[in-house]
Amino acid sequence: MEETRAARKAFGRIGIGYTGFLSASIVLQIVLRIFIYVVNREGILNLSRNWYLFATSLANYAAGGMVLFLIIKNMPVTHRPVSRKADKKLLICSFFICITALIAGNLLGQLLMSLISALEGRPMVNPVTEVLKGLSTGTIFAIMVVMAPVCEEILFRRLIIDRIRRYGEKAAILVSAVIFGLCHGNFYQFFYAFGIGLVFGYIYTRTGRLRYTIVFHMIINFLGSVAAIYIQNSMVLAAIYSLVLYGSMIAGIVLFILTRKDWMFWQGEEAVWGRGAGKILFLNIGMVLFFILSAISFVITEFS
């Protein structure tokens, strides 16, 4: 009973940390929008949309990350994954499975938003597409392909998994993936972010090195942003792009089936996986607060 209480407290602390992360990000966005509006109106400063989004993205990661770190910094890091070179088979299989999670999650998100839009009687609006409109390729590359993968792998892999891996890798990977998905703030991205979050979490627990997940994250974001934009005006490139992606998805499904028995998960010295694990991982004050704030964020994104 005492161990269960301690585990629930640890996962609750993680939840409070990411509630703080989201809160800081939301407050910062509001403050920056007011600031930019005032300085632009007064003619003090005229920031382009490219510079504005780059600055706000960097500020969100920095401010939210600082609040998060201050909340969870005292949590013990006693079972960090051992650093080792990744096996080629692990990387190849993980990459194709990652593409499968990306496409399947994206289709699921599109389907859900289609249903919501039909019920609301208005067309779908993908917030990611709206954000990217009008941005230069350089800005998109800097934010999506460089900044986001580096910052998010630190925030959603290392900071979480290093602190709760002692409760078992399955629990640590699941929690990190759920938080990663919800912090994207919309249904378009939640499902595929959750799916690739599971894969990234597994790679990190097996290798102890973020470099692998950062590179994978960069490739995924590149395919979904820069590459996707460039192929829009060419039917040939669009056909090749789709063929490669859906071919990779099929390969990922096959590899997923063939290798599932080879997956290894350390149970942890204070294992919580099993019957009742859901209550320990998610039914605590911290995680409930995080879920509530995430739901508010999703609603704001949908109706803004």
**Helices 187-207 and 88-120 sit at what angle, rounded to 10 degrees?**
160
Q: How far is CA 95 from CA 55, 118, 245, in A?
A: 31, 35, 12
Half-sphere exposure of 9 (CA within 13 A, CB side): 8
The mean pLDDT of 23-52, rounded to a whole number, is 77
The mean pLDDT of 24-48, rounded to a whole number, is 76
CA-closest candidate to residue 212, choices 201, 227, 222, 223: 201
Beta strands in 160-301 (DSSP E): none
Lowest mean pLDDT among 43-47, 65-69, 241-245, 258-262: 43-47
Task: Categorize the per-residue pLDDT at 77 as very low, low, confident or very high, splitting at 50, 70 and 90.
Answer: very high
**Helices 285-303 and 187-207 sit at what angle, rounded to 10 degrees?**
140
* CA 265 from centroid of its chain's CA atoms: 21
Task: Categorize the per-residue pLDDT at 42 as very low, low, confident or very high, splitting at 50, 70 and 90.
Answer: low
Q: Is the pLDDT of residue 66 over 80?
A: yes
Report the alpha-carbon distance of residue 224 to residue 188 in Å, rounded. 12
Q: What is the pLDDT of residue 178?
A: 98
Tens-place pLDDT, residues 162-201: 999 999 999 999 999 999 999 998 888 999 999 999 999 9
Q: Is the pLDDT of residue 3 over 90?
A: no
The pTM of the whole model exceeds 0.75: yes
The mean pLDDT of 41-53, rounded to a whole number, is 71
CB atoms closer than 10 angstroms to residue 89: 11
pLDDT higher at 289 or 304? 289
Tens-place pLDDT, residues 84-109: 999 999 999 999 999 999 999 999 99
Q: Is the pLDDT of residue 233 over 90?
A: no
CA-closest candidate to residue 209, choices 96, 66, 90: 90
The mean pLDDT of 253-272, rounded to a whole number, is 92
Torsion of CA 190, 194, 197, 199, to 10 degrees: -140
List CB contacts of 210: < 8 A, sequence separation 6 or more.
153, 154, 157, 158, 204
Tokens of 265: 């998960």
